[in-house]
A = this chain, B = another copy of it.
């Protein structure tokens, strides 16, 4: 993986993790939490795998490609779920997820 690609992916993962956790927290405070249940679940899935992959890339894990492939899928699913909702935290999260999915696909 070229150095620039590596830095772009790390940045995308970091932003995605932050937005997913921000969205997780904001969803739990919505009036209609039930409507956000799948979003809450996927926000956690996505934040966790992004955080994991950040560490894996940083330590030059031999498994970055396989992990990035799983991460791309989770980011896409989380982005699609978030995109169904109108709140700003969901829209921003969806954007970060789709951007991260693209970055992951380049190394998977």
Contacts and interface: CB of A to CB of B under 8 A. Distances in A.
Interface string A56-86: 1011111100110110011001000000000
A24 B74 contact: no
A28 B17 CA distance: 21
Interface residues of A, number: 43
Contact of A51 (B40, B51, B61, B73): B51
B51 A54 contact: yes
A24 B63 contact: no
A21 B37 CA distance: 15
A-B CB proximity, top 8 nearest: A21-B58, A21-B59, A33-B34, A33-B33, A28-B37, A66-B70, A25-B60, A18-B58
